Amino acid sequence: MAEGRSVGAGTLALTCFGYFVLALLALHGLRPDYTPIDHMISDYAVGRLGWVMTSAFVAFAAGCLALAVGLYRFGPRSWVARGGAAFLIVATVGLLVTAAFPTDLETAPSTRTGDIHTISFLVNIVSIILAAGLLSASFGGDLAWRSFRPYALGVFGLTVVAFVVQFLSLHRGAPYGIANRFFVAVVMAWLLGTAHRLRRLAG
């Protein structure tokens, strides 16, 4: 029974993250007016087909929740791992706020909705980085997860690099859209890899 639940949590997380990735890739073709170099992925939630990006954020949130539950039940038992899973739940809430409050486009006036979106964006980044760091460190203390630790730590290191690149690009004229996509891609590599490992443990 426990193995079946592990498979279920891992599969649900993989499905949700997979939907997020596919929806985001599709929007690059469906909204060519939002050029990647100077548009964050959140911009896709504004205007035509905005519901696709909104649904992608909801799927991202659901994936984080499924992964957190799966790791809490079947991951390492240390307090470090528990803390990492808790930060995934924080990210879940933050991503739902991101979905509910669309961003302001760079050329549009600032609104309260956009300000809330920006705050949730910062919460999401910090919580996901902390979750990945704590969980990656904890994997070495669990025999079932130990062999996954090098991958997790390596991708976590790239996540930190991507965060720095994203932060340094947050000004007009910089390729902040590309930096944003780089960060999201690395985060997805960590989340998808961890969800796949969770699913395999029961296989």
70 and 85 in contact (C-beta within 8 Å)? no
Determine the longest span between alpha carbons in the chain, in angstroms. Answer: 54
pLDDT tier, 161 (very low <50, low <70, confident <90, very high otherwise)? very high
Residue 182, pLDDT score: 98
Helical ranges in 50-78 per DSSP H: 50-74
Instruction: Provide the residue ranges of all domains of the chain, joining segments of one domain with +.
Output: 2-201
| Model confidence pLDDT, tens digit, residues 64-102 | 999 999 999 999 999 999 999 999 999 999 999 999 999
193 band by pLDDT with thresholds 50, 70 and 90: very high
User: In 75-111, which ranges are continuous DSSP H helix?
Assistant: 79-100
Token output for 79: 């307090």
- The per-residue pLDDT for range 111-137, each reduced to its tens digit, is 999 999 999 999 999 999 999 999 999
Q: How far apart are CA 30 and CA 10, in angstroms?
A: 30
Considering the chain, what is the average pLDDT of its residues?
95
Collect all residues with Cβ–Cβ distance below 8 Å to 99 and sequence separation of at least 6: 45, 54, 55, 57, 58, 61
Would the pLDDT of 2 be above 80? no
Amino acid (one-letter) located at 68: A
Nearest Cα to 72, choosing from 20, 131, 14, 19? 131
Provide the percentage of residues in the chain whose pLDDT is more than 70. 96
Q: How much is the average pLDDT of 32-45? A: 96
- Please check the confidence at residue 156 and state whether its pLDDT lies above 50: yes
Instruction: Write out the DSSP string of 157-187.
Output: HHHHHHHHHHHHT-STTS-HHHHHHHHHHHH
| pLDDT band per the 50, 70, 90 thresholds, residue 203 | low
